[in-house]
Chain A
Amino acid sequence: MKNYKKDFPLLMQNPTVYIDNAATAQRPQAVLDAVNGFYQRHNANPLRGIYELSVEATEDYENSRRAVQRFIGAAHPEEIIFTRNTTESINLIAYSYGLSNVAEGDEVLVSIMEHHSGLLPWQMVCRQTGAKLRFIECESDGSLDLNKVEALINDKTKIVAATQVSNVLGREYPIREIARMAHKNGAVMVADGAQSTPHIPVNVTELGVDFFAFSGHKLYGPMGIGVLYGKEELLNKMPPFLTGGEMIESVARDSAVYAEIPHKFEAGTVNAAGAVGLNAAIDYVKGVGFDEIHRREFEVSGYALDRMREIDGINIIGSDKAEEHNGIITFTVDDVHPHDISEILASDGVAVRAGHHCAQPLLKHLGYRATVRASFAFYNTKEDADKFLESISTVRERMGYGKQKLL
């Protein structure tokens, strides 16, 4: 079995069992080299200078845009807007498209599975416009009943927003079908790809979404670079989100002509090094291949899930099937608060996330207050899973609840 950890300097230097990949992944050497290489060889402010360095910086930046375009199957490079992260991408849609196209009496439909960053921007739009915020709710195992979804969409619905993969359940949702229902009623479809892009091949054209957002840092790329995909005809009609430098054609004392897309939405000096790093991350991911990524994640997280079911007092949230988890295992341990579980795991050198995972409405809907999340990436090994399992099998005992036995 190939040791992918060798590609990741942090994992080679640090003995931590890192299974908090849904929060942020580690970066391979190729990404670190690409960022470094940009600053060492091509650094200049892109898009403005006439001199060679600035031309090179611009080329690097625009090549990254085309790499993202190919990676998610967008029709045109102009449909790719670089942002800081998924949160900023969704805020851009909400402030620019949402505030100009939603009015009192309209409805915005979001799924209960949204990360807070996919919910709060729509709360803002509804507060400011007087529109009604409605929710697509999942079943207790996290699955969706599409008939219920269809019943929620009507001619008042202007925006439907759903995450493609839940950051709590790891489950993939049928975005293509939801997008079709939205379009039948004249609504636009926004998909959050923060948790899907690291695990499954995405094609925004096939999905039929109008907007799609994801972050570089969960895809083994740098922090501070994110992507918003938007359909050209929508982006063209939308007002800018932020205004200032590098997003204009010309400026007079009291007016300005904005640049064409995508630059209309990229005000200020851009994160060119971040974009170059994201390009390298996409190359790296393509090199490993989604088949291999899926195979490895399924193997290790499936093994962990099976073993967790044999430990007394552990409750796994979401699907019974490992293939529906995309490496994400969210769970509780009877009588032990998630923060204490995570503290004990940390003392054994295992890094997981505890709390509400920025999805409080989902946890409340499923009947939990807080949980622990272990999220495996393709570089995690069975040995990582074993260290995690050894630690969680002792949690109740170490919290004073008597010795645990295997069922």
Chain B
Amino acid sequence: MENRSFYNEILTEHNIHPDFKHDIPDADIVLDGVNPSCGDEIQLKLKIDGDIITDGAFVGDGCAISQASTDIMLGMIIGRKKEEAVKMGNTFMRMIRGEASEEEIESLEEASALRDISHMPARVKCAMLGWRTLSEALKNES
């Protein structure tokens, strides 16, 4: 059957074989992110050195969208400055709301694989879970 759903290879690959789904025992920031209505639950763990996110990972359960989106996010933000990560998060949220330009969407690299969520209101929360948790974690920290 032709795959009319939007689950492309990038998403399924990050869902089944996540790069960053593991524990970081000595994380500097640990924050829970939950979508109570659908049961997505992650715990985001970050290591920070000054302004730089030096390492990051997550544990938890949820749908493929929440898991893949969080995994993609971590791949993009590790090694970046906190303020860059927050900016990326804002661009991602603009994309999900259908407000981002083509140029902005391209700047999101792999995360642009989730652009079609903007037409799927029921799944917006799933795609945002990791980014929302990240933004709260960095806000609490500063």
Contact = CB atoms under 8 A, between A and B. Distances in A.
Interface of A: 335-340, 343-344, 347-348, 355-356, 369-370, 390-391, 394, 398-401
Contacts of A391: 1
B118 to A, nearest CB: 15
A369 B39 CA distance: 7
Given A339-B123, A400-B15, A370 B38 contact: yes
B7 A340 contact: yes
Contacts of A347: 4-6
Contact of A399 (B64, B120, B123): B64
A290 to B, nearest CB: 35
B65 interface: yes
A19 B125 CA distance: 25
29 contacts: A335-B16, A337-B63, A337-B64, A338-B63, A339-B63, A339-B65, A339-B123, A343-B5, A343-B6, A343-B120, A343-B123, A347-B4, A347-B5, A348-B4, A348-B5, A355-B37, A355-B38, A356-B39, A369-B39, A370-B39, A391-B1, A394-B1, A398-B1, A398-B3, A398-B7, A398-B12, A399-B12, A399-B15, A400-B13
Nearest to B1: A394
B72 interface: no
Given A344-B7, A400-B7, 10 more contacts: A336-B64, A338-B63, A369-B39, A394-B1, A399-B7, A399-B15, A399-B16, A400-B9, A400-B13, A401-B16
A161 B6 CA distance: 43
B61 interface: yes
B16 A369 contact: no
Interface in B4-41: 4-7, 9, 12-13, 15-16, 37-39
A364 to B, nearest CB: 11
A348 B16 CA distance: 23
B63 A369 contact: no
A347 B4 CA distance: 6
Q: Which 5 interchain pairs have the tightest Cβ spacing?
A: A400-B12, A337-B63, A347-B5, A339-B63, A347-B4
Interface in B107-142: 120, 123, 126
B62 interface: yes
Contact of A340 (B1, B4, B37, B63): B63
Which secondary structure characterizes the binding site on chain B?
A: loop
* Contact-size category for B: 20 to 34
A336 B16 CA distance: 10
Contacts of A370: 38-39
Contact of A348 (B1, B37, B120): B1
A399 B126 CA distance: 16
Contacts of B12: 398-400
B16 A400 contact: yes
Contact of A339 (B1, B3, B126): B126
B5 A398 contact: yes
A337 B120 CA distance: 17
Nearest to B16: A400
B15 to A, nearest CB: 7
Interface in B26-76: 37-39, 61-65
B129 to A, nearest CB: 12
Contacts of B13: 400
Nearest to A344: B5
A370 B36 CA distance: 12
A339 B64 CA distance: 9
A403 to B, nearest CB: 12
A355 B38 CA distance: 6
Nearest to A393: B1
Nearest to B38: A339
A399 B5 CA distance: 10
B51 to A, nearest CB: 36
B61 A369 contact: yes
Contacts of A355: 37-39
Interface in B70-112: none
Of residues A339, A344, A398, which shows the largest number of chain B Cβ atoms within 10 Å of its Cβ?
A339
A369 B37 CA distance: 11
Contacts of A348: 1, 4-5
A77 B37 CA distance: 40
A190 B63 CA distance: 37
A340 B16 contact: no
A347 B13 CA distance: 20
Contacts of B39: 355-356, 369-370
Nearest to B4: A347
A344 B1 CA distance: 11
Contacts of B1: 348, 390-391, 394, 398
